Amino acid sequence: MTAQEIKLQPSGYNFSANSYPKGSHVSLLLSIGRCFPTCKPQAVKWTNFDVLNFEDVQLIESLLNKHGLAGNYKSTKSGQWVRLVNEADFKSALKKEYNF
């Protein structure tokens, strides 16, 4: 499903896309998918996202769209969260964004 097809509410707990400024100590959060990378060192350490909500999808889509890509998502059983299916495209967009 694409970002436009997602029926998530824009309110709720921002689970994965918490952004931290450059220099923050977030290695563990990046490695378990609880943080959105905002600089090159964070992008290099990023591995994958866990579940995402509305705000998370908006952040991911803005980065993907900036580099000519689009996200593909799969709903969780509860229907309250989604997972990014094409994480390789997101990693590619990160590499283009931060030149690594």
Helix axes 54-66, 87-98, angle to 10 degrees: 60
Over residues 38-68, the pLDDT tens digits come to 889 888 888 888 888 888 898 899 999 999 9
pTM confidence score: 0.81
> Domain locations in the chain?
15-98
Residues 6+ apart with CB under 8 A from 69: 86, 89, 90, 92, 93
Q: What is the mean pLDDT of the chain?
A: 85
% of the chain exceeding 70 in pLDDT: 91
Nearest by Cα to 51 from 71, 30, 31, 75: 75
